[in-house]
Amino acid sequence: MSAAGNGRQVPAVMVQGTGSNVGKSLIVAGLCRLFANRGLAVRPFKPQNMSNNAAVTGDGGEIGRAQALQAMGCRVAPSVHMNPVLLKPETDTGAQVIVQGKRFGTLRAREYGKQKALLLPKVIESYSINSAEADLVIVEGAGSPAEINLRAGDIANMGFAGAADLPVILCADIDRGGVIASVVGTHAVLEPEERQRVRGFFINRFRGDPGLFQDGMREIEARTRWQGLGVVPWFADAAKLPAEDALDLAGGLGDGDMKIVVPVISRIANFDDLDPLRLEPGVTLELIQPGTPLPGDADLVLLPGSKSTIGDLKFFQSQGWDIDLKAHHRRGGHILGICGGYQMLGRTISDPEGVEGPPGTVEGLGYLDVETVLTSQKSTVAASGTHVASGAPVSGYEIHVGRTQGPDSASPMMLLAGACPDGAVSPDGQVSGTYVHGLFTGDAFRAAYLDAFGTRSQLTYDRDIDRILEDLAEHLAKSLDIDALLQIAGGSREHAFGV
């Protein structure tokens, strides 16, 4: 248990992993829904996240997209206090640091390593606020506690678990191989007091009959003295849930007649814009990796958001995609730019304050007669309105730096609340851009947009995601010792199971 801001002891457990991408985020989302279904007020928490896939909260703050999904699992609105520190990589060695939803600054990795311990009070404050009305808090670690080279000043794993006095359970991914060594090896490198804090472990992503791994479970238990909480079989529908890491990006699940291609730029951001399109049966969504030309048979080229627009514009051009895009446009193909992608489609991008690097101006791709000026002030707001071409309702969020204006702005793509124009459409109608993320999650807008290409939408996105969370909760209930997990958290079985 840990203390909330009012001094009340709140049952809590922290899910850490033997490595990155072992499935912690989805496990936490599933557990949130499982316990919410049993009548508990559940809250997710991740002290430190690293992702360019951010969500905007109701008060205009930023958190990791995974915590927004976990909040959905809890059936509550996302809060900045669910993820108080968010790192958004801008280069290979530096990241923008978001603290309690707001931009704190841009730091190189070495600089952040020296300052992260100073953020622990903010993290603890957010944890207390987040826990104040909860019956149970499920905390997600980042990376692995076995990364002992990063232990100094740690706020993501054992450093936070110790500060908040949390019990820990360990998640290990058998699909990547070496799962026994990964759990036993984690035990070996932890400090004695950290080993004591780990109360159990479970195995994730098992293909086949989980009973075949019982000898493996007993071997890990014997070598670590940690309690085995179960083996979670492979959950195929996990691929349909929003991905947190750009490394998890996959092509579409549909094989429809409408072909949308997306160049995977180096600092791709808010790529959950693609998720509803991935799931549409009538759409074929192709993610074009570096070194591969844009295919010539696309109906739509979608330029996604970017954490570093000028850098990604140069990356786009270095791949020769600018030449492919010109051929696509010449054939009558359509182009849509979202946020950073919208900025790239203009005539110029200026960075007078040096927000993304040395001050200066670069030429854009030139498909829209607009110019962008980057500023240090970031816009993070919810957005709603109307799609001008179809009249369909639009809802989503903005999360960007910069202002974009020019003659094509007189033909906006959206009219947002208060008749505020957003984006631009070229005179020939082939090219459009917008600052609004999350557009395609809205069934009405997505249906109208696809209809213009002769494709009928067959998806009810939010309802389908909610159904998958229900299925995931049931999947975990069958696979894990939920009673033991709750006891580790310090909770009441009677409360959680309604008996």
Q: Give the separation between CA 464 and CA 162, rounded to whole angstroms.
A: 38
Contacts (Cβ under 8 Å, ≥6 apart) of 81: 45, 100, 126, 127, 129, 130
- Positions marked catalytic: 339, 437
Determine the Cα–Cα distance for residues 459 and 33; give it in Å rounded to an integer.
Answer: 22
What are the distances in angstroms from CA 69 to CA 30, 88, 154, 380?
10, 18, 25, 18
CA dist., res. 224 & res. 241, Å (int): 33
Strands in 157-257 per DSSP E: 168-173, 198-206, 227-233
Beta strands of 196-242 (E only): which ranges?
Answer: 198-206, 227-233
Question: 92: how many CB neighbours lie within 10 A of its CB?
Answer: 7
- The CA-based diameter of the chain, rounded to the nearest angstrom, is 71
3-state secondary structure (DSSP) of residue 219 = helix
- Nearest CA among 32, 38, 22, 62 for reference residue 399: 62
293: which DSSP letter?
P
Nearest partner of 154 among 119, 103, 104, 198, judged by Cα: 119
Q: In sequence order, which residues have a C-beta less than 8 Å from that of residue 303 and are 6 or more positions away?
A: 262, 263, 265, 316, 335, 336, 337, 338, 340, 341, 342, 344, 345
81: tokens are 């206090």
The CA-CA-CA angle for residues 373, 374, 379, to 5°, reads 115
SS3 of residue 71 by DSSP: helix
For the residues of 397-446, what is the DSSP string, one character each? EEEEEEEEESGGGGS-SEEETTTEEESEE-TTSSEEEES-BSGGGSHHHH
Task: For residue 316, give both structure tokens.
Answer: 């786009």
One-letter amino acid identity for 159? G
Q: Is 184 helix (H, G, I), strand (E, B) or coil?
A: helix
Cross-strand bridge partners of residue 399: 380
Partners of residue 428 on adjacent β-strands: none
